[in-house]
Chain A
């Protein structure tokens, strides 16, 4: 930065007069980039004990609104403390600027951000959670109503978005779901192999992998992947549509956003998630099978024979049967959080995060409830 672009300040104190008067000679460029060095000096000067002060500004080469504001604010502070202050040598064009600033200064009060106390913050948080909960209930009810209405008029049902969602949330999730389930099967077999070998119970590897994957891990794993992949996408899509007023536009056209955006997503996931779960079952068992052969010398034939005996139809169905429930949870939470977005790009991001966290949480809670219920029913 060249010397010309910086504001300078020379402070001369006239000690002869009592009380002392101060002469401040200002020079250089009093612009937004130049005034940083003199800001503190000016604050110090205006806090000093002098009763009289002259700001000599004749050597100022450039002045912009920030510089003019600094002059204005210094004069204002001095006047408030009862100091006789005046500005000397102001150029006419700078004077117009200074007057404009002075005219606008009254309305130019920086607004202090509102601070919220701990108690109030807890209260606000609880209230918001409560509202969120009742909003979710209302959303579920609304979705159910829309579903009933659609069932009454099946010819008006929108199959296109359902197929599209099946493609994106179901078919396109096959590779990642398959890979992760396969690896999960490998890990279970690997961990179990040591223990089973110790008891000479190699063949039970099929029971271990089969039951663990089919009953618990496949449905859960698939639900978590889909919540991360599709639940978040639902929230982001609907949230963006909400803040760009597209949802409002849909309403004015007379198309219910629930009917167009939510119902097809729920339908598609309810179909896709069980299918993905079956696919994950197969991939997981395959992983376990390969591990069983390489670590425990259990051949594929033997493994599959044992698998048929170990896994009853009910084990398979309890696993797959959980999937539609998880699907409804994921789709509902994703869509609901999308509708909760408001105003800023930030809020879309926040609601998307909340949708994933909440849907995974609820899926695991539902899974726990299923375990309890199945235990009662003795399945």
Chain B
């Protein structure tokens, strides 16, 4: 079973965010980056499937130079090889352009299953994995909560989350794209041995031309969505904030005497 896992590197947003000078994204200068949560869960799922059913995991990511660090981490966790779409023409794409580029890399690599997260924590399109499936003409499922390989390893029993605490169970035939939800598993830590062996593993860097794509089909040029500006939400009335040592006592007094929701 050959598995491709698509991961995205996203900014960690626990620090104070600032709008970049061009107004179209956040200033990334002082931020740290990590593998998107549900993508890391997809990677763990891929590694478990390969361990149980044989095969290998190839990890693919689109993004600038910094993404190499996340690919090294994925290799240290157990992926066999990595593909890094770092050519500048790939940059700034929407889900359509990014899905097209990733699908072209996957088509060239060939595999039985594509695993990825359901949604990124930065742009949050929730569409890229589905567009990979559309490009490849494969079945897909979004918000996957359970994957069970059936006998013969050509079909999967998939549990997918619906609204209101319901989940749907269905059978998918490979090849397929599965977009997983965080919570499906707990990703492993890389072992020291894994970290050492990752240094020798291959990270290839195909250009759009290598994938049979024109520069205009990928990245910003190939996108259908253009970001005009980003901003913090206008503050509404907002919360009455209490500060300092007496904050908790002030809050309790307000809940009793002003809001009258506790007695």
Q: Do A and B come from one complex?
A: no
List the interface of chain B (C-beta within 8 A of A).
Answer: none
